[in-house]
Amino acid sequence: MNDTDSNKAPKKGHAIALFSGGLDSALAILMMLRQNIEVTALTFMTHFGCDLGDRSSCGSNPYPAAEKFGFNVKLMHLGQKFVDIVKNPRFGHGKNMNPCTDCRILMLNEAKEFMEMSGADFIITGEVMGQRPMSQVKDKLNLVVKQTGLKGKLLRPLSAQLLPPTEPELSGMVDRDKLEGISGRGRKRQMELAAEYGLEDYPSPASGCLLTDAGYSLRLRDLLAHTDIITFDDLNLLRAGRHFRLDANTKLVVGRDEADNNAILACKKPHHHHLEALGVGSPVTLLVGDASHTNLTLAARITARYSSGKKNPVVEVTIVNGDSNQALTVTPMTDTDLECFRLK
């Protein structure tokens, strides 16, 4: 049966896929389409590397493959649920602030609800045995199945032959012999499959999740340590600029370049103080927290340090908060003095 005939034939079943837009999850979907299984792909978004303004996910844009191969994609934002598990993951963080096991459980629970609501038969993921040390080793794969109650309903097509058969395999809905037994971090077999399926445009295997980034994780830990109620505005601001902790209630965000400056201005709120050096090239700086004279002076000196006037004896810095506007003339902070405020 060719692909055209397969598309016209009655579907043998309906799978819900976790789809990052990356190679492995795309291949898992294509393997099901080859077996005449209808696929609805769920692409999950969070506040840690996903952008609601475009059609992207924490992995890669999911739409090109969906449009080329003919399956549906639904975007689902995990919102506060995901923020909560980042703050207190039941199964711990990875090397940085990534709660990979809890993340997988949350996504699968959401997919399970969608499966039951839509009357689908099972769930698929692009997980590969041994590919990720925290979340894709056998004991963690089994743990996720137990925690989600998806025994028999969760199929991992790329490593299926290394795992117990699932309900769709046992029933004959899915031909187990046409599934793979891939393990480890290599991508040779995946690239062979991509060529076979005509999947040409796929991203390199790098996480788009900011929680795996050491610098971002440091800023997030600092925010969690000093803020009782975290808003999405707070999280968005973590993605831009250099961050400095002035005291327990106050931090400073300083732009690195024009793109950073624009991103910081986009996050600016009425309670923030906006600083820029006058008469010289300057970063955009936001003071978040206690705008005492001491903190404003520190903020002005740090702003001056990152301006093009950093070698001048003094620099004038303007400070704007709502309709209030003042200027301070300060000496740029030295790198030595700066280190005690910098979030390393």
HSE-CB of 318 using CA atoms within 13 angstroms? 13
Query: What is the C-alpha separation between 333 and 344, in angstroms, rounded?
Result: 17
Q: What is the per-residue DSSP string for 153-212?
A: TEE-TTTGGGSPPPHHHHTTSS-GGGS---BSS--HHHHHHHHHHT------S----GGG
Query: Residue 159 domain-assigned?
Result: yes
Average confidence (pLDDT) over 295-313: 98
Does residue 344 surpass a pLDDT of 80? no
Same domain, 129 and 193: yes
Query: What is the C-alpha separation between 160 and 330, in angstroms, rounded?
Result: 65
Same domain, 106 and 251: no
Query: Residue 191 domain-assigned?
Result: yes
Q: What is the pLDDT of residue 7?
A: 58
Query: What is the C-alpha separation between 252 and 89, in angstroms, rounded?
Result: 28
Residue 22: which pLDDT band, with cuts at 50, 70 and 90?
confident
Q: What is the pLDDT of residue 130?
A: 83
Same domain, 47 and 101: yes
Query: Residue 320 domain-assigned?
Result: yes
Q: Tokens 């209630």 correspond to what residue?
A: 249
Q: What is the pLDDT of residue 55?
A: 39
Q: What is the pLDDT of residue 170?
A: 98
Query: Residue 229 domain-assigned?
Result: no
Same domain, 160 and 87: yes
Tell me which of 136, 168, 197 is where a domain ends. Answer: 197
Same domain, 188 and 250: no
Query: Residue 308 domain-assigned?
Result: yes
Same domain, 87 and 16: yes
Same domain, 148 and 274: no
In b/e form, how buried is each residue of 36-49, taking b as 16+ CB within 10 angstroms? bbbbbbbbbbbbbb
What are the two backbone dihedrals, phi and then psi, of residue 276, each rounded to the nearest 5 degrees? -150, 145
Q: What predicted TM-score, i.e. pTM, was given to this entire model?
A: 0.86
Q: How many domains does the chain have?
A: 2
Query: Residue 232 domain-assigned?
Result: no
Query: Residue 264 domain-assigned?
Result: yes
Residue 222: which pLDDT band, with cuts at 50, 70 and 90?
very high
Which of the listed ranges 128-132, 208-212, 224-228 does the model predict with the highest average pLDDT? 224-228
Structural domain that includes position 280: 240-338
CATH code where residue 53 lies: 3.40.50.620
Same domain, 124 and 18: yes
Average confidence (pLDDT) over 125-132: 87
Residue 209: which pLDDT band, with cuts at 50, 70 and 90?
confident
Same domain, 7 and 144: yes
Same domain, 182 and 33: yes
Same domain, 102 and 24: yes
Tens digits of per-residue pLDDT, 306-339?
A: 999 999 999 999 999 988 999 999 999 999 999 9
Same domain, 261 and 334: yes
Position with higher pLDDT, 165 vs 21: 165
Q: What is the pLDDT of residue 135?
A: 58
Among residues of the chain, what percentage have pLDDT more than 90?
76
Query: Residue 50 domain-assigned?
Result: yes
Q: What is the pLDDT of residue 282?
A: 98
Does residue 52 surpass a pLDDT of 50? no
Tell me which of 197, 215, 232 is where a domain ends. Answer: 197
Q: What is the pLDDT of residue 208?
A: 62
